[in-house]
Amino acid sequence: MKLTDISSDINEWFDGSGPLADIVISSRIRLARNLAGHKFLSRCSTAEKSDILKKLRDVLMSLDLGDKIFYISVDKAPVLNRHFLVERHLISRHHAFGKGPRGVVIAQREFFTAMINEEDHLRIQLLKGGLQLSQCAEQINHIDDMIEQKVDYAFSPRYGYLTACPTNLGTAIRVSVMLHLPALKMTGQIEKFLNTTRDMGLAVRGLFGEGSDAAGDFYQISNQVTLGISESDIISQFENVIIPEIVEYENAARNQLLSKESDVLDDKISRAMALLRNAHLISSQEALFLLSHLRLGLNMHEHMGASTPAIDTLCRLIRQGSDADKRQGLSIATINRLFMLTLPAHLQLNYGKPLDPTHRDALRAKIIRSALNQDK
């Protein structure tokens, strides 16, 4: 399997389906594990890293995940392919640009990936669209059990799963939910939201995890405490309290926009449409920023029945714009597709060769224009 087999379309969890998918983009659960009898990676020689890689790769490739699985040797992969894997949320930046023998096992439908030799020997993650943490937990737990039949994990009765960094100790679970919060941003409430989540001991990151900004109004919320609280308690807090509350705030902000600030909303949507339909050079940051406003408008129409001059124009445009939209509810998928396929590595991989930034900006603008101008 080649990366170009998947690069021309969005992955399953980003297709706009799943519970609360208008606001909750994806649910992700990651478990960190280390092999007993080996040092942590910072103290491993290259030979020991290779041993760990081989052992874990063999185990993972033998798993029955109900999907085709393939392996990529990350340290040997071209830089562009590594960027692509990061854009696709299949590996972390740390893994893409780290040191030493390392790899990733990926299920073809991209719901599961296993990073070998990232910060810990093994980091497995499960991704689903919308708010589906319990389902993620059930599946990843099963996969973890299957792996554990074949290897011995470093585990202590007192500290649980032992990790290289003590901040991941215990359950070694990271529960992350990606949210699209454009209305909180537009109504000036995003700082308040960020402060509250911080006070609750949660981490907020941007679209591409640690160190990335909140491009396109996407925010990843995740737990920080992993010791002394069970996996099910963490998940239940997220699924039943934290996320529904944030969704409620975002919905309230959307209602506020509609009832009190519809000019602000229409201005943002109309400007976004005008620029995206006419620009000849567009950076990936600008594309994310503008597409976010279109996504908001469409979702407000679909989920709240919102009708304003700008939203009505946008809906007509999208319906005429794409074959896929003949099927109900797929207009969001069109915007999601533009979000992902215009990211720098996606653009270049699909174009077939590396491009300088100006050519990338031109190609990006062309793809967006052609998707949004089919009525002309």
Residues that bind other proteins (CB under 8 A): 34, 36, 38-40, 42-43, 119, 141, 144-145, 148, 152-162, 164-167, 169-171, 173, 191, 194-195, 197-198, 201, 203-205, 210, 224-232
- The two three-digit tokens of residue 45, written as one number: 């020689």
The CA distances from residue 128 to 19, 21, 109, 113, 163, in Å, are 10, 11, 11, 12, 25
3-class SS shares of the chain: helix, strand, coil, % to 5: 55, 15, 30
Q: Which residues contact 292 (CB under 8 A, 6 or more apart)?
A: 180, 182, 216, 217, 218
- Looking from the CA of 344 toward its CB, the CA atoms found within 13 Å total 16
φ, ψ for residue 63 (rounded to 5)?
A: -75, 150
Q: Which residues contact 142 (CB under 8 A, 6 or more apart)?
A: none
CA distance 352 to 341: 14
CA distance 373 to 277: 6
* Mutual angle of helices 344-351 and 79-87, in 10-degree steps: 130
* Mutual angle of helices 243-260 and 284-304, in 10-degree steps: 80
Do 72 and 78 meet the contact criterion of CB atoms below 8 Å apart? no
Q: Can you list the alpha helix ranges (DSSP code H) found in 149-220? A: 182-186, 190-199
- The two three-digit tokens of residue 163, written as one number: 């990790």
- Residue 157: CB minimum distance to other proteins, A: 5
β-strands 202-205, 155-156 pairing: unpaired
Residue 310's region, left for phi above 0, alpha for psi from -120 to 50, else beta, is alpha
- Residue 219: CB minimum distance to other proteins, A: 10
- Type of residue numbered 40: F
Q: Give the three-state DSSP class for 21.
A: coil
Q: Residue 149: exposed, middle, or buried by beta-carbon count in 10 A (0-12, 13-18, 19+)?
A: exposed
* Cross-strand pairs, 106: 70, 113
